[in-house]
Amino acid sequence: MAIRATLLSPTGRVIDLERALTARPGQEQRLELPFSINERGKWQASVTCTDAATGTLLCASAPTSFVVPPLLRARVAVPWYRGRIFSKMHLSEVEIECEVALREFAPGMRLVVVPSQDTPGRLAGQAAVTDRVITVKLPCADLPEGRYELEVGLLDQKSEMLARVKGLSIQKLPPAETEIWFGRDNNMLINGTPHFPTGFYSLDSRGMMQSAADGGYTLFHTYASSRYTRLDPATTDWDWQAYFDTGAAAGMRCFSGFGIRGDDTEDFWPKLLAGEKPEAERIMTAFIERYRNHPGLGAWYVYDEPELHGRTVEEMAWAYDLVDRLDPCHPKVVCQVGWTDDRYVDSLDVLMPDPYPIRATNSRPLRFVSRAVAEARRTVSDEKPVWPVLQWYAYEGGRFPTPTEMRCMAFLAVAAGAKGLTWYSFYHGYKTDAAHWPDMQAIGRELRGVEDVVLAPEAQIRLETDPAEPPVEMLIKRGATGLHVVLVNYSDQPLQGLRLSFPVDVTSARDRLSGETYPLTGNTLHLDLEAYQPMVLDVAVDP
């Protein structure tokens, strides 16, 4: 027999490697076919086995691929959020994280960060290469406001350039009353204070904002902000000043549209991008400028389900750039029903998937929520926050979720790593399901009561469970004096006799939601969970 491996290099070069093989039926052999890798990027490979005497194809492998990383990769690690330095960060150093794809590092090899051509020479630094990942720190305490383009060079001991990365951007922003950004952990920070945002779509009623705030919620929204025709003070029937003022007085912030849904004409978007909708652009610009400094603003809602409405990547980039150019101090959020679609990732700061499991027909299990959050996190490579939109809504011919189901959905989102969440929607829910408003408030207060858990760093440990694969979502966080375990039974059946075994010495475990303390045998915790029951366990660890 003859074994042939065919390799296709990143530049399209074909390499054929062949080796004769003698083997008995059922025998396994390991073959090594050495070759030199002299190109970086994605390689493709396939293997065929032929009869050496006749040339008859006996079998063939499915094509596979592997990636040889570039010699140098670099990105801005601090400040994480789009490379923006806010005044309330009080930042003294910019950090550039560099990854060098070498197995050995020669003495004298170094990384140098310098301003790109035509950029003021204010940011610069260097570091010796002693490991694969190196952080280069650049002093920035006295950096003037403005945008700075940087490039990173990898130099050998003779100062010859081995590799270069261009296009790193840093922007020092002028001070603003409200400055909202995200850390590398995807936590939202409002003027430097971490926050877990929760709220409602379609909270149109100013009279109910305080009631929502009493339930621990901090975000509100109205679809009246979707179309520019309702934003002009000269013609609108909506009192925008009172709407923002009322929310701010209740301690809430709006994720507001800015009219980008247009006017329902088929040629709105082509004309807008061609500069042929000056009145629409004027009204949207004026609205953004009017409310960008309002204490009741939390984020700009760029678009609602753009993939269903046929928005292109270019159109979404235009919308993002319009509002971001006028207000870089508030994040821009996008709701996607196709949360695995990564086309719009560059045109959003927060991805909001909207998994609604309770349907008129073909309902999904509640775990649909946590799976959607996990998939959305993969879509943004876990480099941007995910705030799911949860269901307080009934499809035509269907039903509303029960309070037990909604509570389960909320904590499934938390267990899957959501950094915020909203409900769709106050309008539908309160109009038709108002009897459960006290339950929604109770859920909101529970969520607010675990804000520190949501914001805490993940603990890099694994728990052994018995049974081995229980119907639970679980997230383990590291607290100041122990661990937090978010545990949710996503089954509609009770779960009896669940045992969690910790790899560290634990002394007690208390469920923050119920107040109940659970027994330990050594480092093993014994639990019984009702159908759809969440727990947030505060676990004390023996120091």
Question: Do residue 29 and residue 99 come from a single domain?
Answer: no
The tens digit of pLDDT for each residue in 115-155 reads: 987 666 678 999 999 999 999 999 999 999 999 999 999 99
CATH number for 79? 2.60.40.10
Structure confidence at residue 34 (pLDDT): 86
- Please say whether the beta carbons of 137 and 93 come within 8 A: yes
Structure confidence at residue 377 (pLDDT): 98
Question: Do residue 291 and residue 339 come from a single domain?
Answer: yes
Of 230, 208, 203, nearest to 219 by C-alpha is: 203
Question: Do residue 428 and residue 516 come from a single domain?
Answer: no
Q: State mean pLDDT over 418-427.
A: 98
CATH number for 515? 2.60.40.1180
Question: Do residue 294 and residue 419 come from a single domain?
Answer: yes
> pLDDT category, 405, cuts 50, 70, 90?
very high
Question: Do residue 192 and residue 297 come from a single domain?
Answer: yes
Residue found under tokens 């406001």 = 145
- Please say whether the beta carbons of 332 and 320 come within 8 A: yes
Q: Is residue 178 part of a domain?
A: no
Which residues are bridge partners to 96 per DSSP?
A: 76, 136
The tens digit of pLDDT for each residue in 251-302 reads: 999 999 999 999 889 899 999 999 999 999 999 999 999 999 999 999 999 9
The tens digit of pLDDT for each residue in 43-68 reads: 999 999 898 888 899 889 899 999 98
The tens digit of pLDDT for each residue in 324-341 reads: 999 999 999 999 999 999
- Please say whether the beta carbons of 126 and 112 come within 8 A: yes
CATH number for 34? 2.60.40
Query: Of 172, 204, 235, which closes a domain?
Result: 172
Indicate the DSSP class of residue 287: H
Residue 306 CA to residue 146 CA, distance in Å, equals 32
Q: Is residue 180 part of a domain?
A: no
- Please say whether the beta carbons of 250 and 302 come within 8 A: no
First to last CA, the chain: 62
Structure confidence at residue 38 (pLDDT): 83
Question: Do residue 239 and residue 352 come from a single domain?
Answer: yes
> pLDDT category, 418, cuts 50, 70, 90?
very high
Question: Do residue 339 and residue 431 come from a single domain?
Answer: yes
Tell me what percent of the residues of the chain surpass a pLDDT of 90.
Answer: 88
The tens digit of pLDDT for each residue in 515-536 reads: 999 999 999 999 999 999 999 9
Question: Do residue 247 and residue 369 come from a single domain?
Answer: yes
C-alpha R_g of the chain: 28
Q: Is residue 179 part of a domain?
A: no
Question: Do residue 331 and residue 413 come from a single domain?
Answer: yes
The tens digit of pLDDT for each residue in 479-507 reads: 998 999 999 999 999 999 999 999 999 99
> pLDDT category, 198, cuts 50, 70, 90?
very high
Q: How many folded domains does the chain comprise? A: 4
Q: State mean pLDDT over 233-246.
A: 95
The range of the structural domain enclosing residue 241 comes to 185-455
Structure confidence at residue 33 (pLDDT): 83
> pLDDT category, 363, cuts 50, 70, 90?
very high
For residue 445, how many C-alpha atoms fall within 13 Å in the half-sphere facing its CB?
Answer: 10
Indicate the DSSP class of residue 348: -
Average pLDDT, the chain: 95
Question: Do residue 43 and residue 91 come from a single domain?
Answer: no
Token reading at 284: 């949207």
Distance of CA 488 to the CA centre of its chain: 21
- Please say whether the beta carbons of 240 and 246 come within 8 A: no
- Please say whether the beta carbons of 335 and 389 come within 8 A: yes
Sheet containing strand 193-195, edge to edge, reads 180-182, 188-190, 193-195
SS3 state at 101: coil
Of 194, 288, 203, nearest to 253 by C-alpha is: 203
Structure confidence at residue 29 (pLDDT): 78
Element (H, E) at 258: none
Structure confidence at residue 120 (pLDDT): 64
Of 238, 257, 335, nearest to 298 by C-alpha is: 257
* Alpha helices in 219-274, H assignment, sequence order: 240-249, 268-273
**Over 90: is that where the pLDDT of 20 sits?**
no
Of 235, 231, 234, nearest to 244 by C-alpha is: 231
**CA 391 to each of CA 205, 298, 333, 369, 407: distance values in angstroms, whole numbers, following the listed order:** 19, 22, 18, 10, 11
